[in-house]
């Protein structure tokens, strides 16, 4: 498997068993960051990344917007309220949910070749 | 029982305010604005055949018959068809014209003109001025054209107005500072991020490079959530100058007990609710410090905490 620094979300949706929550899903993500602590994400994520978290509070959208994160994948089957999905759509942030655990989802991303 | 009609009245009033531009125009515009003016008329002695030729040449369907600018009657295309089928096409207009023609006044509003068209089902009305002189002729098509023309002009004016506003605002913002002030309530996790969003917006509009933009947004976000999580309330002021953003967060207490610990990554006094929402990483103040070009914090147990952060700005694409 060829590794790459960026990957089309669309190409890994089925591997991650991910369900898009926002309409827009043809985003490209340039790496991944995993954390459930907001300040940690603010400090260590990079713009354009995919963020894996179990947090579904609207502050997730605020943090993602502040850090210009491209997409958020909620793991363990969690999903935010509809109003939060609306806010994300307005900010141009893609939201996805998967029944996989964070670890399983991360493993799928690694297998898909996203190694940053 | 009094409240129900009151509600209805207010709803009615707000509906009445929502009048479309077309509706306003129908009241504002007059018959004289819409009528055709280079007036094609015929004399009472003209033959119906000459009037038929006139209609064909000028592509019109009705000709007023006048004498000394006074309206005597009207010959319509229906009159010509009758004349052809009953073979009196060479007779004079005077003999066959409709008399007692209903005319509109040039000062009538278009809404009244439309009502007259609905009432009489005529294809056209001659238009008279206040001296009873024939000054024009009006059809439904003239009214439509006139409305379309004015709507288009209004739309162009609105677009031009909008463009000036945008230009003025951006010139203003380049020259001046923008101040965003916000009161922050303790425990109000739901509104966190508004200040940060506004700062990002202003900086993006000004073409500030992404790194400084994000640092300013992070400082604002962390300062705001600090007040929400740890204080009993406070306020944040962000002043955006062309070359820097100054963020000042002042809370009303209770103050930070141990500043060295607070500035240490991973140390947090956040409660279980804040933690369950992903706050309390113990990285708020360290993040603010790291993102600031200048950082000062002063805290006293009781009166509270004052935080001052500055982020220097560069335009995207300019060398550092």
Residues B84 and B192 in one domain: no
pTM of the model: 0.56
> Is A43 in a helix, a strand, or coil?
helix
Alpha carbon distance A35, A54 (integer Å): 8
Window 254-313 of B: residues touching A by CB (8 A cutoff) are 277-284, 286-287, 290
Minimum-distance CB partner of B214 among A60, A61, A68: A68
| Complex confidence, ipTM | 0.78
Any domain includes A2:
no
Nearest to B295 by CA among B248, B261, B235, B231: B248
B107 falls within a domain: yes
Give the three-state DSSP class for B268: coil
d(CA B156, CA B173): 26
pLDDT of residue B10: 38
Q: How far is CA A86 from CA A53, B26, B177, in A?
A: 18, 40, 31
Last residue of a domain, one of B123, B146, B169: B146
- Cα–Cα distance, B235 to B249 (Å, whole number): 6
The reply to whether A92 touches chain B by the CB within 8 Å rule is: no
Q: What angle do CA B127, B130, B132 make, to 5 degrees?
A: 60
Within 13 Å of residue B303, how many CA atoms lie on the same side as its CB?
Answer: 5
Give me the CATH number covering residue B41: 3.10.580.10
Q: Does A72 touch chain B (CB under 8 A)?
A: no
Lowest mean per-residue pLDDT among A8-12, A53-57, B15-19, B272-276: B15-19
How far apart are the C-alpha atoms of B84 and A26, rounded to whole Å? Answer: 71
**CA triple B204-B314-B293, angle to 5 deg:** 105
- The total number of structural domains in chain B stands at 2
C-beta neighbour count of A11 within 10 angstroms = 12
Q: Do A39 and B281 touch (CB under 8 A)?
A: yes
Nearest CA to A116 out of A36, A53, A64, A49 is that of: A49
Inspect the interface and report whether the beta carbons of B279 and A38 lie closer than 8 Å: yes
Q: Are residues B75 and B36 in the same domain?
A: yes
- Which residue in chain B is spatially nearest to A91 when comparing CA positions? B197
pLDDT of residue B320: 53
Q: Judge whether B99 lies within some domain.
A: yes
DSSP letters along A62-83, please? HHHHHTT--EEEE-TT----HH
Q: Is residue A116 part of a domain?
A: no
| Rounded Cα–Cα distance for residues B288 and B223 (Å) | 7
* A63/B286 touch (CB, cutoff 8 Å), yes or no: no
B292 located within any domain:
yes
Q: If you measure CA to CA, which chain A residue comes closest to B223?
A: A39
Place of tokens 């209609």: B55
The answer to whether B287 and A43 have CB atoms below 8 angstroms apart is yes
Q: Tell me: do B12 and B114 sit in the same domain.
A: yes
Same domain flag for B14 and B130: yes
pLDDT tens track, chain B, 320 positions: 333 333 333 333 444 445 566 677 777 788 999 998 868 899 999 999 999 999 999 888 889 999 988 899 999 998 999 999 999 999 999 999 988 888 999 988 888 898 889 888 788 899 999 888 999 999 989 999 998 888 888 888 888 777 766 666 665 655 678 888 888 888 888 878 888 988 998 998 888 988 999 999 999 999 999 999 899 999 999 999 888 999 999 999 899 988 988 998 888 888 888 888 888 888 899 999 999 999 999 999 888 999 999 999 987 776 65
B210 touches chain A (CB under 8 A): yes
CATH assignment at residue B287:
3.30.565.10
Q: Which of A36, A39, A63, A102 to mutate to test the interface with B (most CBs of B within 10 A)?
A: A39
Domain limits for position B51: 3-146
Report yes or no on B160 lying in a domain: no
Residues 17-36 of B with CB under 8 A from A: none
> Which CATH number fits the domain that encloses residue A49?
3.40.1390.20
Residues B110 and B188 in one domain: no
A57 interfaces chain B, CB cutoff of 8 Å: yes
The answer to whether residues B142 and B181 belong to one domain is no
B181 & B102 share domain? no
Sort out which chain B residues have CB atoms less than 8 A from A62's CB and list them. Answer: 192-193, 196-197, 221
Position with higher pLDDT, A23 vs B218: B218
Give chain A positions within 8 Å (CB) of B277.
Answer: 38, 55, 57, 59
Whole-angstrom Cα distance, residue A45 to residue B283?
14
On whether both B112 and B57 belong to a single domain, the answer is yes
Cα→Cα distances B175→B16, B178, B213, B312, B314, Å: 41, 10, 19, 17, 15
Q: Give me the residue from A36, A38, A66 closest to B214, CB to CB.
A: A66
Whether A43 and chain B come into contact, CB under 8 Å, resolves to: yes
Whether residue A1 is contained in a domain is answered as no
- Pairwise CA distance, residues B218 & A39, whole Å: 9
Q: Chain A residue with minimal CA distance to B276?
A: A55
B217 to chain A, closest Cα gap in Å: 6
Contact B216, B199 (CB under 8 A): yes
Q: Is B222 on the interface with A (CB under 8 A)?
A: yes
With 0-12 / 13-18 / 19 or more C-beta atoms within 10 angstroms meaning exposed / middle / buried, residue B49 is middle
Helix %, strand %, coil % of chain B (to 5) = 45, 25, 30
Residues B137 and B182 in one domain: no
Distance from CA of A94 to the nearest CA of B (A): 17
Kindly report the average pLDDT of chain A as a whole number.
Answer: 90
Domain span including residue A92: 7-111
Count the neighbouring beta carbons within 10 Å of the beta carbon of residue B6.
9
Number of domains in chain A: 1
- pLDDT tens-digit readout, A86-107: 999 988 999 999 999 999 999 9
Same domain, B205 and B263: yes
> Could you tell me if B29 and B114 lie in one domain?
yes
One domain for residues B193 and B305: yes
Write the CB contacts of B319 (distance below 8 Å, at least 6 apart in sequence): none
């Amino acid at each position: 498997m060829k590794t790459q620094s960026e990957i089309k979300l669309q190409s890994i949706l089925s591997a991650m068993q991910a369900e898009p929550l926002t309409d827009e899903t043809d985003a490209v993500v340039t790496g991944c960051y995993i954390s459930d602590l907001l300040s940690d994400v603010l400090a260590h994520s990079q713009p354009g990344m995919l963020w894996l978290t179990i947090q579904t509070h609207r502050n997730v959208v605020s943090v993602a917007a502040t850090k210009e994160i491209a997409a958020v994948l909620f793991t363990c089957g969690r999903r935010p309220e509809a109003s939060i999905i609306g806010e994300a759509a307005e900010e141009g942030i893609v939201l996805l949910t998967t029944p996989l655990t964070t670890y399983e989802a991360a493993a799928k991303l690694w297998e898909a070749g996203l190694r940053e | 029982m009094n409240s129900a009609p009151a509600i209805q009245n207010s709803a009615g009033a707000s509906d009445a305010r929502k009048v479309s531009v077309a509706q306003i125009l129908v009241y504002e515009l007059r018959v004289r604005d819409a009528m055709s003016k280079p007036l094609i008329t015929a004399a009472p002695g003209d033959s119906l055949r000459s009037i038929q030729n006139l209609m064909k040449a000028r592509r019109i369907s009705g000709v007023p018959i006048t004498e000394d600018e006074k309206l005597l009657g009207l010959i319509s295309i229906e009159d010509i068809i009758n004349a052809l089928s009953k073979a009196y096409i060479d007779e004079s207009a005077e003999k066959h014209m409709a008399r007692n023609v209903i005319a509109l006044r040039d000062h009538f509003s278009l809404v009244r003109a439309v009502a007259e068209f609905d009432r009489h089902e005529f294809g056209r009305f001659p238009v008279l001025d206040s001296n009873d002189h024939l000054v024009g002729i009006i059809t439904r098509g003239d009214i439509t054209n006139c409305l379309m023309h004015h709507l288009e002009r209004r739309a162009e004016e609105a677009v031009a107005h909008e463009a000036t506003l945008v230009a003025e605002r951006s010139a203003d913002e380049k020259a001046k500072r923008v101040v965003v002030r916000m009161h922050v309530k303790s425990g109000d996790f739901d509104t966190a991020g508004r200040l940060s969003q506004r700062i990002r917006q202003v900086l993006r509009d000004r073409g500030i490079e992404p790194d400084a933009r994000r640092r300013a947004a992070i400082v604002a976000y962390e300062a705001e959530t600090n007040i929400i999580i740890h204080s009993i309330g406070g306020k944040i002021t962000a002043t955006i100058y062309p070359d820097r953003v100054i963020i000042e967060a002042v809370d009303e207490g209770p103050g930070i007990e141990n500043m060295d610990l607070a500035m240490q990554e991973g140390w947090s006094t956040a409660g279980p609710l804040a933690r369950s929402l992903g706050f309390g990483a113990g990285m708020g103040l360290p993040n603010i410090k790291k993102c600031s070009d200048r950082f000062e914090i002063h805290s006293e147990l009781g009166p509270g905490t004052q935080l001052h952060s500055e982020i220097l700005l560069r335009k995207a694409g300019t060398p550092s």
